[in-house]
Amino acid sequence: MKIIRSPQEMTAWSRQQVLAGKTIGFVPTMGFFHEGHLALMRRAGKLADQVVVSLFVNPTQFGPTEDLAAYPRDFERDQGLATNSGVNVIFAPETEEMYPQGANTTVTVGEELTNQLCGASRPGHFAGVATVVSKLFNIVRPDLAVFGEKDFQQLAVIRRMTQDLNLGVKIIGHPIIREEDGLAMSSRNTYLQVEERESALSLSQALAMARTMATNGERKTEQLRAALEGFILSFSGTTVDYISFVDQFTLQQVETVDENTVLALAVKINNKVRLIDNGFVLGDARE
Ligand code: AMP
C-alpha cells in the first residue's frame, strides 16, 4: 500500500491507473478507523480495481467550539487496518497543501438540504464538507466514492453536489455498521466514559422504539417525537439536539410517517459528546 501526501502526486497516480484501464473507488475519511470505515473500503474494493482512502481531518467542517484539536488520530494503526482491508493508496495531505494561503473558494449546497438537522447546530459544516469533498474528487478523480449512511444528511448533500456540478463520480451509500448492542460506530465513541456509553444507547434504542410504535399504528410524528424525547431524556446526561422525521430525498420534515421517512437523531451526552444516528421508520426504502 502506498502513502501519498502531495495532491499532485495523487492526481498523477490516478492518471496512470486510468491509462492502464483501471477503475478507482474512493473512500473519504477523517481517520481513526473502525469497522464502519473498513466496511466502506471493502465495498469500494468490490466495485473498483483500485481503492484510494483519504485521511484528512478537515478543519473547515469544524465549528470554532468543536473538537478539531481533540479529534482522535492514530496514523500507524490506520495504515495497518487499511492495508488489511485491500486499500491501495492512503492519501493523507497536510492542511497547508489542501488550503494554501489565499484559498478563497467555498462550495455551498442549497439551504433546503443544509440548514436543518446537523446544519442548524453546526453552521458552515456542510459548506466545509462540500468544499473538501469536491477538492478531493478533483485530486483523486475516482469513478465512484463510498459514503456511510450514518452521516445521512452528508450523503444527501454530496449526492446533490455531485449531480449539480457534473462531477462524474458515482456515489454509493453504505449501511450503518453498529456495535453488537446497537451503538452506531463512530470515531467519537472513544470520547465516551463507561456510564456515558450506556446513555449513548439511547439513540439506537429510540430508533427501535419508533419502529415498534409506527408498526403498531402510530404514524403521527408529533406523537412519536414526544415519546422518543421522553425516552432519550430518561438516560443519564442526555440532551436532545434534534429528533427529526424527514423525507429521505428532500430532508424536509414530515407530519406523517411513510416508507420514505427517516428518523434522524442527534443527542449530546454530558454536553460533551455529540452523537448522531438515523434509520427508516418503516421498512427500508433507501436508494
Ligand atoms: P468520518 O471519518 O467520520 O468522516 O467518516 C468517513 C466515512 O465513514 C463517512 O462516509 C461516514 O459516513 C462513514 N462512517 C462513519 N461511521 C460509520 C458507520 N458506523 N457505518 C457506516 N459508515 C460509517
Confidence check: pLDDT of 148 > 70: yes
Cα distances (angstroms) measured from residue 98 to each of 42, 116, 124: 26, 28, 18
% of the chain surpassing 90 pLDDT: 98
The confidence score (pLDDT) of residue 283 equals: 75
Share of the chain above pLDDT 70, in %: 99
Task: Point out the ligand 1 atom lying closest to the alpha carbon of residue 188.
Answer: 3
Q: Tens digit of pLDDT for each residue in 215-228?
A: 999 999 999 999 99
Q: Which three cell numbers stand for residue 16?
A: 496512470
Query: Which amino acid would we find at residue 98?
Result: M
Tell whether ligand 1 has an atom less than 6 A from the beta carbon of residue 130: no
User: What's the pLDDT at 220?
Assistant: 98
Quick check: 287 pLDDT over 70?
A: no
Cα separations in angstroms, 176 against 39, 61, 89, 200, 204: 9, 21, 24, 16, 11
Instruction: Say how far apart CA 72 and CA 187 lie, in whole Å.
Output: 7
What is the per-residue pLDDT for 93? 98
Digit-coded pLDDT (tens) for 47-102:
999 999 999 999 999 999 999 999 999 999 999 999 999 999 999 999 999 999 99
CA 28 to centroid of ligand 1, rounded, Å: 9
pTM reported for the whole predicted model: 0.97
Cβ of 237 closer than 6 Å to ligand 1, yes or no, is no
| Contact status, residue 272 vs residue 192, Cβ threshold 8 Å | no
**40 ligand 1 Cβ < 6 A:** yes
Q: Residues 8-54: pLDDT tens digits?
A: 999 999 999 999 999 999 999 999 999 999 999 999 999 999 999 99
Whether residue 43 has its Cβ less than 6 Å from ligand 1: no
Mean pLDDT of the region 258-276: 97
- How close is the Cα of 128 to the center of ligand 1, in Å? 16
Q: What angle do CA 64, 188, 198 make, to 5 degrees?
A: 125
Q: How far is the CA of 56 from the centre of ligand 1 (A)?
A: 13
The sheet carrying 170-174 orders its strands as 2-4, 89-91, 50-55, 24-29, 144-148, 170-174
pLDDT attached to residue 225: 98
Query: Is the model's pLDDT at 265 over the cut of 70?
Result: yes
Residue 245 to residue 159: CA distance in whole angstroms? 20
d(CA 250, CA 145): 21
Under the banding of pLDDT at 50, 70 and 90, the label for residue 168 is: very high
Predicted confidence band of residue 286 (pLDDT cuts 50, 70, 90): low
Q: What is the pLDDT of residue 28?
A: 98
* Cα 66 to the center of its chain, rounded Å: 16
Residue 246 pLDDT exceeds 70:
yes
Average pLDDT, the chain: 97
